[in-house]
Copies of this chain bind each other. A is one copy, B any other.
Amino acid sequence: MSALAPVLDRLDQSLDQSLGRLFDLLKVKSISTDPAYAAECRKGAEWLVADLKTIGFDASVRNTPGHPMVVAHHDGPAGSPHVLFYGHYDVQPVDPLELWDSDPFAPAIKEIGPDHKVITGRGSADDKGQLMTFVEACRAWKAVHGGLPCKITLLFEGEEESGSPSLKPFLEANAAELKADFAMVCDTGMWDRDTPAISTALRGLVGEEITIHAANRDLHSGEFGGAAANPIRILARILADIHDDTGRVTIPRFYDGVEETPSQVLKSWESLGETADDFLGPIGLSVPAGEKGRSVLELVWARPTAEFNGITGGYTGKGFKTVIAAQASAKVSFRLVHKQNPDKIRAAFRKFVEERLPADCSVEFHKHGGSPAIQLSYDSPFLTKAKQALSDEWPKPAVMIAMGGSIPIVGDFQTYLGMESLLVGFGLSDDRIHSPNEKYELSSFHKGQRSWARILDALTR
Instruction: Report if A288 contacts B (CB, 8 A).
Output: yes
Residues of B within 8 A of A214 (CB): 285
Which of these, B220, B284, B324, B361, contacts A405 with CB under 8 Å?
B220
Q: Which residue of B lies closest to A312 (CB)?
A: B316
Q: How many residues of A contact B (CB 8 A)?
A: 79
Residues of B within 8 A of A405 (CB): 220, 222-223, 322
**Among residues 316 to 350 in chain A, which have CB atoms less than 8 Å away from a CB atom of chain B?**
316, 319-325, 328, 330-331, 333, 335
Instruction: Report if A144 contacts B (CB, 8 A).
Output: no
A contact patch SS: mixed
Which among A310, A328, A361 has the highest number of chain B CB atoms within 10 Å?
A: A310
Instruction: Report if A225 contacts B (CB, 8 A).
Output: yes
Query: How far is B230's CA from A177's CA once the two chains are assembled, in angstroms?
Result: 45
Residues of B within 8 A of A240 (CB): 233, 236-237, 239-241
Query: How far is B335's CA from A226's CA once the two chains are assembled, in angstroms?
Result: 9
Please tell me if the beta carbons of A221 and B305 are within 8 angstroms of each other in the complex. Answer: yes
Instruction: Report if A251 contacts B (CB, 8 A).
Output: no
Query: How far is B389's CA from A170's CA once the two chains are assembled, in angstroms?
Result: 86
Query: How far is B291's CA from A361's CA once the two chains are assembled, in angstroms?
Result: 18
Which among A216, A225, A304, A330 has the highest number of chain B CB atoms within 10 Å?
A: A225
Which among A228, A319, A324 has the highest number of chain B CB atoms within 10 Å?
A: A228
Minimum C-beta distance from A243 to chain B (A):
7
Instruction: Report if A207 contacts B (CB, 8 A).
Output: yes
Given contacts A229-B287, A330-B232, contact A404 B223 (CB under 8 A): yes
Please tell me if the beta carbons of A243 and B239 are within 8 angstroms of each other in the complex. Answer: no
- Of A73-81, A295-303, A378-386, the one with at least 4 CB within 8 A of chain B: A295-303
Instruction: Report if A290 contacts B (CB, 8 A).
Output: yes
Residues of B within 8 A of A288 (CB): 227
Which of these, B287, B300, B313, B359, contacts A223 with CB under 8 Å?
B300
Instruction: Report if A365 contacts B (CB, 8 A).
Output: no
Contact with B along A244-266 (1 / 0, CB 8 A): 00000000000000000000000
Residues of B within 8 A of A315 (CB): 309-310, 331
**Among residues 424 to 454 in chain A, which have CB atoms less than 8 Å away from a CB atom of chain B?**
none
Query: How far is B291's CA from A64's CA once the two chains are assembled, in angstroms?
Result: 61
Please tell me if the beta carbons of B224 and A283 are within 8 angstroms of each other in the complex. Answer: yes
Instruction: Report if A39 contacts B (CB, 8 A).
Output: no
Which of these, B289, B303, B322, contacts A230 with CB under 8 Å?
B289
Q: Which residue of B lies closest to A209 (CB)?
A: B320
Query: How far is B225's CA from A335's CA once the two chains are assembled, in angstroms?
Result: 8
Instruction: Report if A4 contacts B (CB, 8 A).
Output: no
Please tell me if the beta carbons of A222 and B203 are within 8 angstroms of each other in the complex. Answer: yes
- Contacts beyond the supplied A226-B305, A308-B313: 8 A-B pairs with Cβ under 8 Å: A207-B322, A225-B335, A226-B300, A228-B285, A233-B289, A309-B322, A310-B316, A311-B316
In order of increasing CB-CB distance, the 5 nearest A-B pairs are A222-B405, A240-B240, A216-B284, A310-B314, A236-B239
